[in-house]
Structure 1
Amino acid sequence: MKLTTLLAAIGMVGMASAPAHAADDCIARGDLDQIYCDMDGDLVADAPAADQLVDPDTLVFAYTPVEDPAVYADIWNPFLEHLEKVTGKEVHFFAVQSNSAEVEAMRSGRLHVAGFSTGPTPFAVNLAGAVPFALMGADDGRFGYTLQLYTRTDSGIDTVADLKGKRVAHTSPTSNSGNLAPRALLPGQGIVPEQDYEVVYSG
């Protein structure tokens, strides 16, 4: 990742609480919250005016909610050290408890740089002024992930069709792979969530 890209992204995300235009000045907003503006039409919030820029002494980074945040804090250490080096600022890892808490922390200016899951990304962009600038990938250039469905070996569920009449755990309402993707993909295989099976959320 180029240093200029990283710094620009930090700047844009770090200014999320400082809107580019007053609500009544903006004539192009799209789906963004009323405190943001999108005059250049790139579907993300415009940068704040020069006199509205903020320059926090410490940057706060968060990664999408996971079962054991402490493990991820260690995994992200090389990135946090790199961020400190290129910005000259202290960087702290903040473990969030939910997708909505992560979006709200950025919206309120308490979170400056974050790794969002795919599902909450549109909420982060539209509600918190987040500007996506990178995605995780493998060394060979591959990126993305898969939707996987797990059952007990003795459940009697061996095919997607066997989900009919069952209770199926989706992860959370805003999760892409854990909720939105099954709702989009399973009907093509003859199973409609909440019509053919009961949806419960596991968190």
Structure 2
Amino acid sequence: MSLIRRLLKVSSLSVAFALAGLGLANAEFKLDPRFTDANGDMVADAPTDASKQIDPDTLIFAYTPVEDPAVYAKVWQEFLDHLAKTTGKKVQFFPVQSNAAQLEAMRAGRLHVAGFNTGSNPIAVACAGFVPFTMMASKTGAFGYEMEIITYPGSGVTKVEDIKGKKMAFTSETSNSGYKAPSALLRTEFKLEAGKDFEPVFSGKHDNSILGVANKDYPAAAIANSVMKRMVARGVIKPEQVVTIYKSQTFPTTGYGYVYNLKPELAAKVKEAFSTFNWEGSALLKEFQTSEPPQEAFIPITFKDNWAVIRQIDSAMGVSYECK
């Protein structure tokens, strides 16, 4: 079984645990044995042996594969130029097609700097040595997105219970809003089990699910509303093509970071590039300011604190962090 094709089993814990995580312990989380965590921050430490640290001539960067990679290569170009200037390295955009490809690339040493989506972060940290340190937010520090279950007008689905007996589109098993959170919700609050009460299908990416609903290929789908808002802003879909029948609490957005074994001096320069990037007039701002709240700055985060609710959802889902 590959790294991400793990068995996911929804527990019978309440939706308050699965989606709100109020007052409950974090999911049992552990790093792969090849990593160390001496300071207890839940991410892999840089190797103390300098010979095991890497200092590549070209840094490979990948953005989470939620939408068309060709679009995002252009969106990220100004930032990548800034990253190159700050680090003194060449920088190459890696257009990953799936969460699995992105995880395996970092685990194999082919990916150095990346944005991993919300649900993939814990597995990337545990199995690929990913060290997230920042995410996008508004200028006031507001951040986050919600999971929405959407349908199209005239689908016959007007409430979540109507999904019974129909197809339900998810994105991938590592996605928080595209699989894990809605699966916990459907099981615990609405007593709907995949394969028994509805037919689950996997689209691979949020934009595929959103387009599938808009084009009436799927009667319902679970998606990240930040992706949908950007697609509406770009004119990819029209607002009237979709209807929201459920909206979750707010979750953290894509986490950005580097692979643990980067030379510490280089890792520090990568962090500097994110903190000093000028958003004004950039393609990055044009693309991400359409989110709500707008994403127009990089703010510091920690995996230990900001991803606690996601680890709780993983616990509700019975996710294993074993690395194959």
TM-score, normalising length: structure 1:
0.80
Are residue 41 (structure 1) and residue 40 (structure 2) matched?
Answer: yes
CA drift of 1:188 comes to: 4.8
* 1:104-119 pair list within 5 angstroms: 104-119=104-119
Q: Cα deviation per residue 1:34-88 (whole Å; 9 max; x = unaligned)?
A: 2212222211111112232211111010011134101101111122122112111
SS in 2 for 1:60: strand
1:106-152 per-position Cα deviation (integer Å, ceiling 9, x unaligned): 11111100000011111110111011101122234221111122212
- 1:167–1:198 Cα contact (<8 Å) kept: yes
Structure with more of its chain in strand, by fraction: 2
* Map of 2:94 onto structure 1: 94
Q: Is the 1:160–1:191 Cα contact (8 Å) retained in structure 2?
A: no
User: 1:170 — aligned with what?
Assistant: 170
Partner SS, residue 183 of structure 1: helix
Measure the CA separation in 2 of the matches of 1:80 and 1:162. Answer: 45
- Partner SS for 1:136: strand
Q: Percent identity?
A: 57
Residue type of the alignment partner of 2:101: A
8 Å Cα contact 1:59/1:91 also seen in 2: yes
Q: Tell me, what secondary structure is at the counterpart of 2:131?
A: coil
Residue of structure 1 in register with 2:183 after alignment: 183
- SS at 1:100 equivalent: helix
The reply on whether 1:31 has 2:22 as its aligned counterpart is no
Which structure 2 residue ranges, 5 or more long, are not aligned?
Answer: 1-28, 205-324
Shift of residue 93, structure 1, vs aligned partner: 0.4
Looking at structure 1, the residues matched to 81 and 139 of structure 2 have their Cα atoms a distance apart, in angstroms, of: 20
How many Å separate the matches in 2 of 1:169 and 1:193?
14
Aligned to 1:70: 70
Q: Does the CA-based 8 Å contact 1:164-1:191 persist in structure 2?
A: no
Q: Partner amino acid for 2:177?
A: S
- Structure number with greater CO (CA < 8 Å, separation at least 6) is 2
Give the Cα–Cα distance (whole angstroms) in 1 for the partners of residues 186 and 140 of structure 2. 30
Secondary structure of residue in 2 paired with 1:44 = coil
CA distance in 1, matches of 2:183, 2:162: 16
RMSD: 1.6
Task: After superposing the two structures, state which structure 1 stretch, 31-40 or 190-199, moved more.
Answer: 190-199
In structure 2, what is the equivalent of residue 51 of structure 1?
Answer: 51
Give the match's secondary structure for 2:154.
coil
CA contact (8 A) 1:63 1:115 kept: yes
**Cα distance in structure 2, aligned partners of 1:190 and 1:66:** 27
SS in 1 for 2:146: coil
Map of 1:197 onto structure 2:
198
Aligned match of 1:157: 157
Q: 1:168-196, CA deviations, whole angstroms, 9 ceiling, x for partnerless residues? A: 11111111111011022234542434143
Query: Does the aligned pair in 2 maintain the 1:160–1:189 contact within 8 Å?
Result: no
Q: Which amino acid aligns with 2:106?
A: M
Instruction: Tell me the distance in 1 between the aligned counterparts of 2:51 and 2:99.
Output: 31
